[in-house]
Structure 1
């Protein structure tokens, strides 16, 4: 997505709508390598799923630390809706992660390690302002991936529609609340530009390293030896970073965050957002809505 596609006014953004009790059929016969029958592509998305339960809890906690300072009624409502959406994301990804645990992935260890990092180490060494700045940066990265990945139909073309639907729903709601942490950061906490971009630099290093570590654990669980893992990484990194690959088209969106006058709603939501919403409201079927969102990509 072009980072120069601007909404005319911040208030024109889409509403935040918490959705509950969606059925993605995650207890069905989903293949181990549900994305293109490819271990690297599948495990990239699987590794991100393992981060969400504790990560979403961290986001909620970081924003709530400023809840009493939020005086604007609209922002208060958006914080409440943001909290409800993130809590639902945690719940659904826990269900998905149960599949991974059944495959031998040490979900309990990953959860413990993330919980210690987010809720024991970080509170000792960082301020609530730093944690909120990290949350705003991670929310931008999440919205970036949600928007840019679902714009490109070929990326998820051969993925299992049930898992794709889960990520489509998650993407839609991340886009809806992408500005909440940022607005609390800049309007309530009044964090400086320097702290904002420094946090983005830090999470831009820490996030991919964490995902890579979890992926490597998954490859070992899958029985890949050292040489096989090297081949997986070589092929996978080319898929990530080749011209037109997974990440180069997201760079405009990413670097928009470094603009002094940046705001998340200056970068428009995914063009196919309305197609997901229209389909879900008409059918109540999250999988049909996910298929519609995917089909609307370019």
Structure 2
């Protein structure tokens, strides 16, 4: 199945992430919501490097010129994501969060455990699974305007990232199926594993952040936050069907996911060149 959207190799926009007036709890003043996205940001740079490495394992075997170009653009986009989130993570590091230690542990986990002990086909399946999870979150966040109450600068960063996750959401999957000749069982096992490890690592980082913050009544914060994520009407409500579609034998990433908000962002950004304005428009129109 061919891509429904072109992959645009954009240079990471300027978001003003170095501004001193960015609040610690930049998402509606809420500790859980802010730290949930902060924790994911810490995971992104090493994760993006892992994804690039896993796709590159099969790059020389690609004969389809369209897929070759998509892989090239995928690598560029993931590299830009890593750079921008590294800049954002410096802000988190200045707050006392053990960013260097977290990144070191994640690097060891991804590159010294998975890439040394698992087959290249399996780590590519992990990449395809992670790309599906990030894409369905991107679709869902756009549809619900999850970040409408967030600081416009950080909202813009996540909107830009979401757009590019949607654009390249099928690349690793296509390399896995067409080039690595990966099978259904490996694909499903990798998704089950990623579905556990990704949120687990996010929550462990959040627990550390809450301790650094000296947050009071942490049990109450966790209860309310997890309800916001998983409760009826929560962040992930309505996304279960999109998630479970991955387990269908004939699944392809372009079979699911709304594109209206994506088009709104892209048209606004390409007209204005202003990522913050594009993020604002998406938040207002959802």
Q: Give the TM interval when normalised to the shorter protein.
A: over 0.9
- Residue matched to 2:121: 129
- Residue matched to 2:163: 172
- Tell me if 1:85 matches 2:77: yes
- Per-residue displacement from partner, 1:50-74 (whole Å, max 9, x unpaired)? 0000000000000000011111000
Work out whether residues 26 and 96 of structure 1, in 8 Å CA contact, stay in contact via their aligned partners in 2.
Answer: yes
In 1, Cα distance between equivalents of 2:78 and 2:95: 26
- Tell me if 1:151 matches 2:143: yes
- Residue matched to 1:37: 29
- Residue matched to 1:56: 48
In 1, Cα distance between equivalents of 2:110 and 2:45: 12
Work out whether residues 148 and 270 of structure 1, in 8 Å CA contact, stay in contact via their aligned partners in 2.
Answer: no
- Tell me if 1:246 matches 2:235: yes
- C-alpha displacement of 1:124: 2.4
Unmatched segments (≥5 aa) in structure 1? 1-9
- Tell me if 1:203 matches 2:194: yes
In 2, Cα distance between equivalents of 1:273 and 1:215: 29
- Per-residue displacement from partner, 1:85-110 (whole Å, max 9, x unpaired)? 00000000000001100111111001
In 2, Cα distance between equivalents of 1:24 and 1:235: 30
TM-score (norm 1): 0.93
- Residue matched to 1:280: 269
- Per-residue displacement from partner, 1:14-57 (whole Å, max 9, x unpaired)? 10001114111111121110001000000000000000000000
Q: Where in structure 1 do 4 or more consecutive aligned residues deviate above 2 Å?
A: none
In 2, Cα distance between equivalents of 1:293 and 1:278: 11
TM-score (norm 2): 0.97
Aligned residues: 285
Work out whether residues 146 and 175 of structure 1, in 8 Å CA contact, stay in contact via their aligned partners in 2.
Answer: yes
Give the RMSD, CA atoms, in angstroms: 1.1
- Residue matched to 1:7: none
In 2, Cα distance between equivalents of 1:174 and 1:87: 12
- C-alpha displacement of 1:117: 0.9
- C-alpha displacement of 1:294: 1.8
- C-alpha displacement of 1:269: 4.4
In 2, Cα distance between equivalents of 1:126 and 1:229: 37
In 2, Cα distance between equivalents of 1:157 and 1:174: 19
In 2, Cα distance between equivalents of 1:142 and 1:73: 26
Unmatched segments (≥5 aa) in structure 2? none
- C-alpha displacement of 1:12: 5.5
In 1, Cα distance between equivalents of 2:280 and 2:220: 32
- Residue matched to 1:117: 109
- C-alpha displacement of 1:268: 3.7
Work out whether residues 175 and 269 of structure 1, in 8 Å CA contact, stay in contact via their aligned partners in 2.
Answer: no
- Name which of 99, 105, 125 aligns with 1:107: 99
Q: Which has the higher contact order (CA 8 A, sep 6+)?
A: 1
Match of 1:184, SS state, is helix
- Tell me if 1:232 matches 2:224: no
Q: Structure 1 residues 170-179 or 278-287, which shifts more?
A: 278-287
Work out whether residues 147 and 270 of structure 1, in 8 Å CA contact, stay in contact via their aligned partners in 2.
Answer: yes
